[in-house]
Structure formats: structure tokens, C-alpha cells
Amino acid sequence: MKTEISTDRAAAVELLERSEIVALPTETVYGLAADALNGEAVAKIFEAKKRPYFDPLIVHLPDRDWVERVARMDDLSGKVTEAFWPGPFTIVLPKREIVPDIVTAGLDTVAVRISAHPVFSEIIHKFGKPLAAPSANRFGRVSPTTAQHVCDELDGRIPLIVDAGPTAHGIESTIVAVRGGKIQILRRGPVTAEQLSKFGTIEIAGPIERVSAPGQLPTHYAPRTPLRLIEVSESFSPKKNQRVGLLAWNSARSAKDFAVFRCLSERQDYREAAANLFCYLRELDQSDLDLIVAERVPLHGLGAAIMDRLQRAAHDPLDAQDRPE
Ligand code: TXA
Ligand code: MG
């Protein structure tokens, strides 16, 4: 199959109507979309991404009127989504029959989101129905923030990538679930714990807490090159003949020690850093390095979501298995 990169929104709608899959921009990362209410169309997403069927998808809605058709919204979830929709925000709700089991991996809940991206919004409104859309990367890999990244991941496996330039936030949406009157953060993202705390008590779900979301697996977002986290103040010099790339938070280190040097944000701006994160990880991963060294980012606001991704990128897959005591 030939993969087109274009700005043709009508072609995207037409493909979706024919139960095909299409990569679309959102304000967080690019998603791989299919008709959420059509199990066969959704199966193509799992195939193209090589995603295991136990990992449920986010359902994007054209507008709020759709919420009660696919899920049951409680009062607190209603208030929180009122504040952050449309936007980089996903909420897990009890699902209704209409949502096929393949979308939710058999769970009795469904993750729903309304995106504010003008191109995504235009396409989903023309299509007129919910779209299931995970990030448009192969399973377990870094999410794509440009059309070219999607192409690097899925070339030849999907018919169309709608290009709307780099995404604004650069990291995936915040995912929450309201449980026992508390707001549980299942995945950190652009909407921060501080922002959510205005609405109630916050709980941060720990890494593999009974994997209801494999996006929480410690090895998710993995580059192929080993990645090590260091403190900004920690000294580090590459060994002789070792090709090391630096992903810096603070640009104070000497660039000449490193084969490749990327600074997340010269002005230490968290938004800019988040927007650059996956792009720089990809560039470093493609630079034929022995090691990527990444400086720890302060945990304020969005910094926590950035560190969450970096920690997963740094995780040694061999450590991901539960080891006997
Ligand atoms: O920003 C985003 O959220 C992007 C754009 C395209 O919308 N999407 C995205 O989807 O990151 P994905 O599939 O890569 O990550 C969604 C995460 C997965 O870790 C999945 O396990 C979790 O959401 N998830 C989906 N349904 C769930 C549910 N019912 N309960 C708990 N977690 C769920
Ligand atoms: Mg993903």
C-alpha cells in the first residue's frame, strides 16, 4: 500500500467512510483514526500499529452531545470535562453497548476525548461519528508529533496521513478516571495535577498499577538506543570512542563532549520542552549513538509529564519483567 501525506481533508473523510484508517493531527500527537463504532475498521488500527488487542483505544467524539451515547457521565466528570474540553484531555467512563469490545479491549469502561485541533475537528464533524484513535506509532514506540514521524512508523501500512504541521503540545493527552469521588490521573499530560486539583482530590496511579492502561507500562515510549537519566548537576563524560547524545534541560554542559546535543528549551519553558521532547528523542535515536543521556527535568507542572515519558524511555526492558524475590 502506498502512503500519501497530504492536506486533503475530504479524502480523509472518504477513507473513514469506507472503513479505512487514516492518520490525523491532534493538538497532542498524531493519531491513527478509524470509525469507532465499526469493529472491522478498528481492527485495522491494531494491525497497522502491531498493537496487542488487550490495549484499549481512546474514542474521540465530534462534540459533547455524543458523550451520553457512548458512555455514562457522573457529575464530577461532567465538571472536569467542561473545563478541559475540547483539548488535550481524556476521561475514562462506564461504557454503553454501542462501543464495540475491540475498542475497549473488553473493559466495561471507555476512554473519551474531544480534540480542539481545527483539522481533526473539521474531519470528525464531516464524518459525523466517533473516531477511535491511538497515537500513530508502532506499539511501544515514541508518539509522532509530525506527519513525517508517522510516515517513519507506518509507511506502507496506511493509505493517508493528513499533514497539519507539528503538534502544539507534543505529548499525549492527560487521562483521568473519577473513582470513589477522587480524580485519578492514569497518564500525566498537558492538563496538570495542579489544574485538576481545583476540582477535587487527586490520586496519581502508579506505573503498572494492574495495567488497565498499557500506556502506563514502564517500557512504553522506548527509543532503540539505551537512555540514561542524570541530574542536571551530575557530572558526565562519555567514555573514549563512545558516541553519546545529550538531551539537555539546562544548556550548561559543553556540547563538544557529545556527538549530538539537543536542549529541550533554552529558556526552560515547559511547554516548549514538551513540544520538542518526542521529536528530539527520535532525532537522537536515529543518530547511531551508543547512549542517550537525558537530564532530569524539574517536576513542576508539565515537567512531571515530561519526566514520566523520560523515565519510561530510560527503563531497561529486562527490568520490566517481574523478577522473583
Ligand atoms: O493525546 C492522545 O491521547 C493521543 C491522541 C491521538 O488522542 N492518543 C493516545 O492514544 O495517546 P494511545 O492509545 O496511544 O494511548 C491511550 C492510552 C493507552 O495507554 C490505553 O491503554 C489507555 O489510554 N486507555 C484506553 N482506554 C482505557 C480505559 N478504558 N481504561 C484505562 N485506560 C485506557
Ligand atoms: Mg500511544
Rg (CA), the chain: 20
Decide: 28 in ligand 1 pocket, CB within 6 A. yes
Q: Cα(83) to centroid of ligand 1, in Å?
A: 20
Helices and strands, counts by H and E, the chain: 11, 15
Distance 5 CA to ligand 2 centre (A): 21
What is the number of the ligand 1 atom nearest to the C-alpha of 220?
19
**Ligand 1 pocket, 107 CB below 6 A?**
yes
Ligand 1 center to residue 90 CA distance, Å?
Answer: 8
The per-residue pLDDT for range 155-191, each reduced to its tens digit, is: 999 999 999 999 999 999 999 999 999 999 999 999 9
Atom in ligand 1 nearest the alpha carbon of residue 175:
23
Summarised one tens digit per residue, pLDDT across range 128-140 is 999 999 999 999 8
Among 29, 89, 175, 221, residue to substitute to test ligand 1 (most atoms within 8 Å of Cβ): 175
Predicted TM-score (pTM) of the model is 0.90
Residue 137 Cα: closest atom of ligand 1: 14
Q: Which strands sit side by side in the sheet containing 260-263, from one edge to the other? A: 227-230, 291-295, 244-248, 260-263
Q: Average pLDDT by consecutive 10-residue portion of the chain (325 residues)? A: 98 98 98 97 95 92 98 98 98 97 93 98 98 95 96 98 98 96 96 97 72 57 90 93 96 91 96 94 96 96 94 67 33
Residue for grid cell 500506556: 215
Q: How far, in Å, is the centroid of ligand 1 from the Cα of 57?
A: 5
Contacts (Cβ under 8 Å, ≥6 apart) of 206: none
